[in-house]
Amino acid sequence: MTEPDSVHRLLRRPHRQRRHYHAPLAVIMIIVLITLLAPALAPYDPRHAVSGGYLLPPSAEHIFGTDTLGRDVLSRTLWGGRQTLSTALLATAITIIPGLLIGAVSGFTGHWVDRAMMAAMDTLLAFPNLLLALVIIALIGTGANQVALSVGMAGLPAFARVARAAVLDARHRLYVQAAWAIGAPPHRVLIHHILPNIMETLLSFAAVSLSWALLNGTALFFLGFGGDPSIPDWGVMLNEGRAAFRVAPWIALPPGMTITLTVFAVNRIADSWQDALNGR
């Protein structure tokens, strides 16, 4: 009675429909792999100065040069990805899990429960994401985990709204009406008939939420809310390179280009999923 799951349907699509996923997915996999292998790939300690001086331009010894404190920029970029990506993934999980729960319960239950939950979400949606994240982090303090929590909570209302809309749409489908007709209990209708058939829509918006989390998390680290500034992070590196950009642009360019490439690839995957959904 339910449609095949999203992964199976993706694999069954013609090659011309799936080829748009390949390049951005490959970019994401390469970036993740490089950051995971940072301990083996980084030529220097990212937190300590190297011998030879500071603000050294790119060379064979230091491919991306050194920063204002004499630390190797390549090593900090590799290690910084671990902090940046892990924070973004944690923030996305904080967005998706409660957002899906709130949206599903609100859309499936209806009545006063729906009105109360969506009133709360609409109140939070009145604030821009970054501003709401700043308010939350001002209340809970600074640190990498606090950044992830604040960014995740800031993205929760939008995801809850999308999940609710998808559930409301699925409630009127024939397969859901058939499940009700044969006497399926409410929890079974929601879990086995509605959620599997809205998963592609949720996955598409989850990718968008990941790009938002990456940008907002980087912005908070850039502003100095990430805690220990010696721990490499792409946002911290952008802030460090900002003051010396005229004389040493190599400090900010690697993390900036990596952030741009990662967000572009994630958004391209989300767009491809949405195009596939609209095509059906």
What is the C-alpha separation between 203 and 262, in angstroms, rounded?
Answer: 17
Residue 63 in domain: no
Q: Would you say how long the chain is, in residues?
A: 280
Each residue of 99-108: pLDDT tens digit? 999 998 988 8
Q: Does residue 52 lie within any of the structural domains?
A: no
Residue 148 scores a pLDDT above 90: yes
User: pLDDT band at 14, cuts 50/70/90?
Assistant: very low
Q: Report the pLDDT averaged over residues 10-23.
A: 55
Q: Using H for helix, E for strand and C for coil, what is the string for 151-187?
A: HHHHHHHHHHHHHHHHHHHHHCCHHHHHHHHCCCCHH
**Chain centroid offset of residue 126 CA:** 21
Residue 93 belongs to domain spanning:
80-279
Q: What pLDDT digit, counting tens, does each position of 64-113 carry?
A: 989 888 899 999 999 999 999 999 999 999 999 999 999 989 888 878 88
Report d(CA 151, CA 61) in Å as an integer. 38
Cα-Cα-Cα-Cα dihedral sign, residues 29, 35, 39, 43: positive
- Measured CA to CA, the distance from residue 165 to residue 115 in angstroms comes to 13
111, part of any domain:
yes
Q: What is the pTM of this model?
A: 0.85
Taking a C-beta distance cutoff of 8 angstroms, is the pair 269, 207 a contact?
Answer: yes
Q: Considering the domain boundaries, does residue 75 fall inside one?
A: no
pLDDT tens per residue, range 172-197: 888 887 877 787 777 788 888 788 88
CATH at 212: 1.10.3720.10
Q: What is the mean pLDDT of residues 153-170?
A: 91
What's the average model confidence in pLDDT over 205-216? 92
Give Cβ neighbours of residue 35 (< 8 Å, ≥ 6 apart).
Answer: 78, 79, 81, 82, 85
Ordered DSSP codes for the chain:
-PPPPHHHHHHHS-HHHHHHHHHHHHHHHHHHHHHHTHHHH-SS-TTSPPTT-SSPPS-SSSTT-B-TTS-BHHHHHHHHHHHHHHHHHHHHHHHHHHHHHHHHHHHHH-HHHHHHHHHHHHHHHTS-HHHHHHHHHHHH--SHHHHHHHHHHHHHHHHHHHHHHHHHHHHTSHHHHHHHHTT--HHHIIIIIIGGGSHHHHHHHHHHHHHHHHHHHHHHHHTT-SS-TTS--HHHHHHHHHHTTTT-TTTTHHHHHHHHHHHHHHHHHHHHHHHHHHH-
Residue 170: inside a domain: yes
pLDDT at position 2 over 60:
no
pLDDT per residue as tens digits for the range 265-277: 998 888 887 776 6
Neighbours of 13 (CB within 10 A): 14
Residue 70 lies in a domain: no
Is 42 part of a structural domain of the chain? Answer: no
The answer to whether residue 87 sits within a structural domain is: yes
From CA 171, how far away is CA 183, in angstroms rounded?
15
**Structure confidence at residue 203 as a pLDDT band (50, 70, 90):** confident
Residue that wins the pLDDT comparison between 12 and 129: 129
Counted domains in the chain: 1
